[in-house]
Amino acid sequence: MSAAARMIIDSAKDLDRRIADFGDASPKYDQLFEGYARLALQPGSAVLIFAPNSVEFLLHWIAALANGYVPCAIAPSAKTPLASALQKSLKIAAIVGPQLDPARYRAKHFARIGTFNAVVCDHIPPAYEPFDVLILTTGTSGSQPACVHTVESLVCNASMTNKTLNITAADKQLCVLPMYHSYGLVTQSLGSIISGCELRIDGPPFNANRFADVIRKEGISICGITPTIARDLLGRGTVLPELRSMSIGGDRVSPEDVVSLLSKPFINELYITYGLTEAGPRVSVLPAHITPVETYDSVGMAFSGVSTRIETPDADGVGQLLVKTPSVCRRKVGGNILRQPFTSDGFLETGDLFKKDAAGYLRYVARKADILIVKGEKLNTRSIDLVAEMHPDVEFARTTAGDMNSLVTRLWAKDDKVLDLDEIKTFMKSSLRLHEVPDKVIQERNAVFHK
């Protein structure tokens, strides 16, 4: 067992001293460890764990790891068909979660571990090594791929994040991001274990008033959020108690939002980060509180020890960002993986288009997949989404190619409102060029959105 794995596993025995949530008391770690041992899976067997944001989930994750299994967290709202599809594509040996119905998985072996149910799948030979970790990448279908990390790679990234963002044992961190994603699991949860700081776990779903209330009552000093949450806080004019540090990652942050956030007296340090699950996740950071305003359109510079380059830049210097980091995943599995995203000299292909200036600042342009040719015109679907998201009733937007060379924008409403789609399309027209205006605008139910 590596030193990194031993550190995480040993931390579980007194985790409840420093880490807490707002639910019922969690089962003891030893009880969970023994429950996983009784599953009698072979070392390297993958275990899919439905992951509500809670101390108990984190203890389950560590207990599975300590038994030589390979934990894979999934959204607690995920449906049975998705879990069943992942069981096949990722070679899952057991499925664990609160309120899990064994009958739906036709399992022969059922057990209770803490407050979670566990089912063992039939004769799945191990596909991984002990102390590997599976982290799902963004997606909604049964073909959803996962990254195979090691505990070492995740601890490495969490350590780099702590060092770069100056997170220490003196801090008290709040996690409101989903713990089945790499930001909530690695940079916040594992990061807190490594730094020795206290951690409070809450949400999702996110509520601005509750967020402010928890920060005040718990004496939170640092937190990490997404750009969507940041825009929500700005839009509502939410006043937070004073924070030592706030970090934002997971999507693009506009320079205007950076200026607005820095104007708030309750934010002392503001870090804009970029990363991806394959990289562990974090790659770069912009300490916006100490950098010039002309850098606010960037995601800063790569972490110390991380190398970046732009692959075959065009005349404007735009090309795919390649990353070499000690926290990179071992490989990708599941889904329809045709090839591994690595160059012959060990760089990770991010799939993101960037520019990099002479000082090393990285400026995001688009996902390669966001660039479409529709009706003979090249367009950036994310730019269209950002215009739609400027509408006061729209929470999220996603634009894709439709049938017959058309453009379709799907919208998710704030507060489950019924959207006036004609009015929103007119709103979008006022800011978009003619070929960027979607042919069809559709409202989706909030429950089906997956970031």
Question: For 70-81, how does the pLDDT look when each residue is reduced to its tens digit (9 = 90+)?
Answer: 999 999 988 888
Task: Inform me whether the pLDDT recorded for 140 exceeds 70.
Answer: no
For residue 194, give the nearest of 64, 1, 19 by alpha carbon: 19
Q: Where in the chain is the domain with CATH 3.30.300.30?
A: 371-450
Task: Inform me whether the pLDDT recorded for 141 exceeds 70.
Answer: no
Highest mean pLDDT among 18-32, 78-92, 103-117, 380-394: 18-32
Give the position of tokens 């590596």.
2
- For 178-193, what is each residue's pLDDT tens digit? 999 999 999 999 999 9
| DSSP annotation of 173 | E
| DSSP annotation of 165 | T
Neighbours of 421 (CB within 10 A): 14
Q: What's the rounded Cα separation, in Å, for the pair 254 and 231?
A: 10
pTM of the predicted model as reported, rounded to 2 decimal places = 0.85
Residue 446: what pLDDT?
A: 58
Positive or negative, the CA dihedral 86, 89, 95, 101 is positive
Residue 165: what pLDDT?
A: 97
Q: How far is CA 260 from CA 10, 107, 235, 293, in A?
A: 42, 53, 10, 12
Q: What's the rounded Cα separation, in Å, for the pair 367 and 351?
A: 6
Measured at the CA of 322, the angle between CA 347 and CA 310, to 5 degrees, comes to 135
- For 91-137, what is each residue's pLDDT tens digit? 999 999 998 988 888 777 889 999 999 999 877 889 999 999 999 98
- For 150-160, what is each residue's pLDDT tens digit? 999 999 999 99
For residue 425, give the nearest of 384, 383, 376 by alpha carbon: 384
Q: What's the rounded Cα separation, in Å, for the pair 427 and 387?
A: 9
Biggest distance spanned by C-alpha atoms of the chain: 62
Beta bridge partners of 302: 284
What is the residue-averaged pLDDT of the chain? 92
370 in helix, strand or coil?
helix
The domain made up of 371-450 has a fold known as GMP Synthetase; Chain A, domain 3 (3.30.300)
Supply 389's token pair. 């998201």
Q: What percent of the chain has pLDDT over 90?
A: 78
Sequential DSSP letters for 16-44? HHHEE-SSSPPPPHHHHHHHHHHT-PPTT
Q: What's the rounded Cα separation, in Å, for the pair 78 and 50?
A: 8
Confidence category of residue 450, pLDDT binned at 50, 70, 90: very low
The domain made up of 151-366 has a fold known as Rossmann fold (3.40.50)
Contact 398, 385 (CB under 8 A): yes
Residue 103: what pLDDT?
A: 82
Q: Where in the chain is the domain with CATH 3.40.50.980?
A: 3-150
Per residue, what are the HEC states of 107-143?
A: CCEEEEECCEEEEECCCCCCCCCCCEEEEECCCCCCC
Q: What's the rounded Cα separation, in Å, for the pair 451 and 180?
A: 12
Amino acid in position 17: R
Amino acid in position 439: D
Residue 348: what pLDDT?
A: 98
Q: Where in the chain is the domain with CATH 3.40.50.12780?
A: 151-366
Q: What's the rounded Cα separation, in Å, for the pair 332 and 339?
A: 9
Supply 126's token pair. 């191990």
Task: Inform me whether the pLDDT recorded for 206 exceeds 60.
Answer: yes
Element (H, E) at 193: helix 191-195
**For the CA atoms of the chain, what is the radius of gyration?**
22
The arrangement of secondary structure in 3-150, i.e. its CATH architecture, is: 3-Layer(aba) Sandwich (3.40)
